[in-house]
Amino acid sequence: MLPATALIVTRHIWLGAAIAAVAAVTALFSSRSRIRAVAQSEREILSYAHTATSLGADPAPVIKAMRHPTRDLDDEDAGPPLHLPRRR
């Protein structure tokens, strides 16, 4: 944002405004992309939970592992590592 501000101060208003607009649009698309990634992840978790429930399994341990993939190595109750599905 500093170059855009410097251009506006030095009376290159249109060029400074264009740089500021590009930065704002880039930030908008970046945040939208992150929101879509989180939504896709949640859809995958819900799909797994639905499949596991329809087969009679308890999906809670795997869903917890999918939401929080890191775990403490000192945790004795952790059990074996879980195989998580690949992300698309």
Q: For the chain, give every domain's residue range.
A: 2-67
Element (H, E) at 37: helix 13-54
Tokens of 62: 């795997």
Q: What is the pLDDT of residue 35?
A: 93
Q: What is the pTM of this model?
A: 0.53
User: CA dihedral defined by 36, 39, 45, 48, rounded to 10 degrees?
Assistant: -80
Alpha-carbon distance 29 to 42, whole Å?
20
Asked if 16 contacts 6 with a C-beta cutoff of 8 angstroms, the reply is yes
- Please report, in tens digits, the pLDDT of each residue of the chain (88 residues total): 567 777 777 877 888 888 888 999 999 999 999 999 988 988 888 888 888 888 888 878 777 777 775 555 445 555 555 555 666 5
Alpha-carbon distance 8 to 68, whole Å?
46
